[in-house]
Amino acid sequence: MFKQSIPKFTFRRFASHYAPSKHLKDVAYKQDLPKGKEFIKNYEEKVHHSESITNLWKKLTYVVAIPAIFLVAIPVGKIEMDHAKHREHTRHLSDEEWPQQYDYQNIRSKPFFWGDGDKTLFWNSDINRHVQN
């Protein structure tokens, strides 16, 4: 049959898994009631403390964060509506009327392998235009 050679040396992998000691079989685990009660008391104190902190952060979220989001969203929404009107206007411009293209814009070292090879993956025809002179 097939015989596999086993190397003479092995590497010990420290802390890769838990290997119980041979001596643990001799140790008898005994219940320690005072330590158990102390543990339960400390656990209940932590739960009580975490409940009060959690309620504080919930109140801060509802009273401060959500109104702040709405107060910021209103002027940003107005500005974005103005931008949408401007994009609607620029959509109908011809290539001659389109703003000047600079040398660093729309650099193509080779065509993209999708579509007509000129448009990037996130191309938006309302905003982006590659005017070739």
Per residue in 1-16, pLDDT tens? 555 665 555 566 665 5
pLDDT at 7: 57
pLDDT at 71: 96
Per the CB < 8 A criterion, the answer to whether 94 and 55 are in contact is no
pLDDT at 42: 94
pLDDT at 93: 79
pLDDT at 2: 56
Per the CB < 8 A criterion, the answer to whether 71 and 64 are in contact is no
- Positions of the chain with pLDDT under 70: 1-29, 132-133
Closest CA to 90 of 48, 39, 131: 131
